[in-house]
Amino acid sequence: MDKQMLDGKVAIITGASYGMGQTMAELFAEEGASVVLTARGNDKLDAVVEGIRAKGGKAIGVVADVCSLEDTQKVFAETIKKFGDLDILINNAGIGEQKMIDETDDDWMMHVMNTNLGGPMRYIREALKVFMPKNEGVIINISSVNGTRPFCGATYTSTKGALNTLTKNVAMRLVDTNIRCNAVAPGATITPAHLANKAGEQPGGAKMLEYSGHYVYFPGPECEAIDQAYACLYLASRMGRAVRGQVLQVCNGAFL
């Protein structure tokens, strides 16, 4: 049997109770990593953790809100307590939305920004406290094709563009280290959030798509959650050892 690609590694994956985050956690566990899953709710999180353990994987769940510094610090403390180290961080948690700029109030704007951009910044900052002393680690931010083709909500698209910039900024900061920072930018991917978006059920409904639909191939060939997980595995493993500061778009060619 071939050696697992993440044998002995420890990974934190935020927003991992369903969708892409769940699939990433399951794949990473299959490849030998001990995985720490976070989510705001307990029931779905526990079910995913138990599913991984039932297949022989190593996993724990920590209920946490990425908007909370206290919760963020708790996640890292629990990781070190349980597994003794950290090697990989995947910033996956986020809020999808379709609110047009003229429908976006300050409370909503700050909530989405705090989750989609503030969360990754907090987690990266905490991860570097572990990575820097040992001069090793991997950071992967989950962005979106909206980072360059902003057809969804005004705040959502702005945060994804900012996350792309943050990815490059962090990579520049770490260029003289063995710590890599990259991003994966999913296109339309079959997840509960994507299906809700197609049905006009995300905050803001589908009105924005009446304006943005001419500029994008939507709906195009849809990806599956495992396609995004494979991209993360590439970046997290030795295969991606020379890749830094890149935003890897995984969209099945729909958003070229």
Positions annotated as catalytic residues are 156
Taking alpha carbons only, the member of 175, 159, 75 closest to residue 114 is 159
Phi, psi torsion values for 144, nearest 5 degrees: -170, 155
Report residue 221 as tokens: 């060939």
How many Cβ atoms are within 10 Å of 41's Cβ, its own excluded?
Answer: 10
Is the torsion defined by CA of 228, 229, 235, 238 positive or negative?
negative
Rounded Cα distance, 164 and 254, in Å: 19
Chain position carrying tokens 């339309």:
188
Rounded Cα distance, 144 and 120, in Å: 14
Report residue 49 as tokens: 């953790």
